[in-house]
Structure formats: C-alpha cells, structure tokens
Amino acid sequence: MNGNNEITVEEGSTNVYADLGYADAAEMQRKSQLAAEIARAIKARRLTQGDAAALLGIDQSKVSRITRGQFRGVSEAKLLGLMAKLGRDVKITVGPVRRRAGKIELQFA
C-alpha cells in the first residue's frame, strides 16, 4: 500500500506460474490442471483417499499431496495414468503446426 491507503493491482497472465517467474511454467500449469481434475474425479466417485490410493496404486499420502496441488516430483505421464485409472479417457493428439514451435494443451470434457 502507498501513503493514501490505495492498493496497487497488477493484472496477471493466464498462467500464475509464468507470472511468478518459473522456468517450467507451462508444465506446472498443465500438472496443476491435471491434479485438480484428479481431485474432482475422486470426489465425483465419492472415494476416500484410502480407496483412491488403492485404486490408483499409490500411497494415500501421495493422493493427499496431489489433490492439494503439491505435484512436484510427479510426472505429467504419471498424472495422465492416474486419470485413466479413475475412469477418464486420456487422448493425446499430435499434428503439424503453422508456427515455429508446437504447444501442449489440455482440454477436459
């Protein structure tokens, strides 16, 4: 705050990790989207964390960390595999682009 009690607000981009200066911001955003979708799928199936852990083949503590958005050390491939185990179809499409570099984008149905 400045002297007249006004708050300065800066508009961010669509990626909070990029706004915070993370080098791997795009990957972190995708992983956060996957972690949130995993949490939604567990809730939709009314699974306890213990039941989810048994279904997913991981420790309950890892289920807890992922559903709280703590996904460092967990690969995107692992998160995609967990989605499939939760009964979600995972589709990866590879195609040509008209720009110099391609992008990775997630869409949830």
pLDDT band per the 50, 70, 90 thresholds, residue 3: low
pLDDT of residue 74: 93
CATH of range 16-85; options 1.10.3720.10, 1.10.260.40, 1.20.1250.20, 3.40.50.2300: 1.10.260.40
> pLDDT higher for 20 or 58?
58
pLDDT of residue 104: 79
Structure tokens at 55: 């279904």
Q: CA distances (Å), 76 to each of 15, 82, 100, in order? A: 17, 10, 24
pLDDT in tens, 32-68: 999 999 999 999 999 999 999 999 999 999 999 999 9
Q: Which residue has the tokens 């990790």?
A: 17
**Average pLDDT in the 73-93 region?**
92
Structure tokens at 51: 């039941």
Domain residue limits, the chain:
16-85
pLDDT at 2 over 70: no
pLDDT band per the 50, 70, 90 thresholds, residue 85: very high
